Structure formats: C-alpha cells, structure tokens
Amino acid sequence: MWTYLRKRILQSALPLIAVVLGVFVLARLTGDPSQLYLPLNATDQMREDFAARNGFDQPLWKQMGDYFLGVLQLDFGQSLRTGEPAAEMALRAFPATLQLAAVTMILAIVIAVALGSWASLKPNGIADRIVSFFSMTAASVPDFWVAILGIWIFAITLGWLPTSGTDGALVWILPVATLMLRPVGVLAQVVRGSMVTVLGQPYIQVARSRGAGQMHIVSKHALRNAAAPALTVAGDLTVGLINGAVVVESIFGWPGIGKLMIDSILQRDFAVLQAAVLITALAIFALNIIIDLGYALLDPRVRPTSGSRARRRGPGALSDTKAEVLTNV
C-alpha cells in the first residue's frame, strides 16, 4: 500500500506543476493589473513603479521561477487587491466549497440509492423506465441552465427562495439542488446496474427460498455487495463537484473557492488565483487517493498487497479498475 501511495504522489507531481504553470501563464494574458489598480490618469512612471513593486517588470521566466521558489517555502504571495496573503484567502474560502460539496453528495447518495434500488426490483418495468428517463435527463442538463431556471422560477417568479447568501437553511436549497442533479442521475444508474447484477446472484435466490422479504434482501445483502462501484463513482463525482462549483458559486454568490477564482480573474489578482488553483488541485489529488484506497478496502481483489499478487496487478490496478467502473456507467 505504501508503495502505491508513493507512486501516486510521484505521478501527480508533474500534473500539479503543469496546472500551476498553465494558470501562471494564462492569468497574465488577462491584461495589465495596473489598469485596474491605478487611476485612469496614471503616468508612465506610476505604472513602472507599480510593476517594479509587484515584480511585473521582470521577464516571465524570472517571475515564474520566483513564484515556484516561494511555493516551496509556502509563500504564495500577496493579494493585489487587499494585501492579504494569498494562501490565507484561498484557505478561508475553501471550507465553504467543501461544505457545499459534502451536503450535495450526502443527499445525492441517499436519493440515488433509493431510486436505483427501486428501479432494480423490476428491470424494464415502469419504475425502471421512469428512473432511467430521470437519470439521463439529470445527467445531461448543464448546471448553469438549472441554476438560472431555478432562480427565475423559485426566487423571482414565486419568491420562495433567496438568490444568494449564506445565512439560513433556505439559501442552501438552490445551490445544492443545482449541483445535485447530475450526481443523482449518474449514481442512480450505477446503483441500478449493480443491484440488478447482485439480485441475480445464486445466494440471493437462496435467501428468497428461505423466506427472506424483499426489503431484507435489498438492505442486508444486495446493497452491501453493490456498494463498491457506487462509492467509487460517488468519490469521482465529489471531485467533480469541487472542480465544477465555479459556475454555481458565482451564480448564487456562494463564498467558496470557485467564486474566489472568478473574482481573482476579473480583478487580475494573480497571486490569489494561483493559490486557489493550487489548493484545489492538491485537494482533488488527495481525494483521488482516498477514493482509490476506499475502493481497495471495499474490494480485496484490487487491493495492492505485497508479494506476487501485487507484482502481477501493479500499483496502478486501483485506478484501472475505477476507470473500468466509470466506463460502464
């Protein structure tokens, strides 16, 4: 297991560097920050002083090298807008995104398990067709369209829900419902497929022959054995929520890492943008490791143990198996 962890960490180092490098270069293509932070009548000398004070007068390769050296020393620079350390601003915003993603996934798993289990009881029946139609629709609708439609119907037309904010339970409904649709659609299909396979196994037939009820079979036998593929996909969808919450957080004014990224782009606050992207990338990397380890604990067949079996499967077996599950969704 430790060999697997070391290899995954080394494998993720290059993508992390590429992400930070790409953001560093692309952020500077958004324009000159002095146009935002200096008055319109600023002189050339004022612009030169601003660039020298923030290191923008150096060649791009020199700025990049200084930034990477700072990151190695846990110095992510300071915000041009507020003067605060960029890392502190990113870390302060990240818990709001994690809370939103956690609540969304908990509700999505509960609803998807219920729908998938219901559909699996009678394959190709009415319930199965209803759940399949809902799942395909939910998995296909863009988040931003659902968010805008939800605001128009429930906030503007009916006046039932607020459009933004963080105070009270009502402000959670629209963001969570918007982010929850796709995970529910995908997970319901995964649970349904796994449950259909498990319910056709011989030991399920034995349990039925002994007089076990349908609810007992589903809750005590089928769900437990069908959990591994569903939890694997749920983990990947959680990663997607963190990575894709940028649009939803911006629409609903949710004070998370996604909104911070958008604000930093608009304000050309390069240090904050770079810190937010790097912290998000590190969180996604850590979540992927946890997902693979959790799948190994649920399914011993893909567990990277020592000995000939580990050499035969290799430490990449977990990722390969997870990819196979996702391909079959």
Query: Tell me: the pLDDT tens digits for 201-237?
Result: 776 666 667 666 666 666 666 677 777 677 778 877 8
Please give the pLDDT value at position 149.
92
153 falls in which pLDDT band (50, 70, 90)?
A: very high
Euclidean distance between CA atoms 8 and 168, whole angstroms: 41
Task: Collapse the DSSP code of 103 into the 3-class scheme (helix H, G, I; strand E, B; otherwise coil) and give the result.
Answer: helix
pLDDT level of residue 307 (50, 70, 90 thresholds): very low
Q: Mean per-residue pLDDT for 143-157? A: 90
Mean pLDDT of the chain: 79
Domains with residue ranges and CATH for the chain = 86-327 (1.10.3720.10)
Residues 6+ apart with CB under 8 A from 202: none
Query: Which amino acid, residue 132?
Result: S
pLDDT at 315: 40
Q: What is the distance of C-alpha 302 from the center of its chain?
A: 24
Over residues 47-62, mean pLDDT: 83
d(CA 117, CA 130): 13
Residue with the larger pLDDT of the pair 38 and 188:
188
Give the largest Cα separation in the chain, rounded: 88
Is residue 265 within 8 A of residue 7, CB to CB? The reply is: no
CA–CA gap between residue 264 and residue 261 (Å, rounded): 5
Contact assessment for residue 131 and residue 119, using Cβ atoms and an 8 Å cutoff:
yes
pLDDT (0 to 100) of residue 107:
92
Cα dist from 168 to 103, 107, 246, 247, whole Å: 15, 18, 22, 22
**pLDDT band at residue 326 under the 50/70/90 scheme:** very low
Q: Which of 286, 301, 271, 293 is nearest to 27 (CA)?
A: 271
Amino acid at the residue 54:
N
Position of tokens 């430790």? Answer: 2
Q: Is the pLDDT of residue 308 over 50?
A: no
266-276 confidence digits (pLDDT tens): 888 888 988 88
Q: Is the pLDDT confidence value at 121 over 60?
A: yes
Residue 49 pLDDT > 70? yes
Which tokens belong to 124?
């190709």
Opening angle at CA 120, ends 116 and 124, nearest 5: 115
Range list of H helices, 28-85: 34-37, 44-54, 60-72
Q: Is the pLDDT of residue 256 over 80?
A: yes
pLDDT of residue 152: 92
Length of the chain: 329
pLDDT at 310 over 60: no
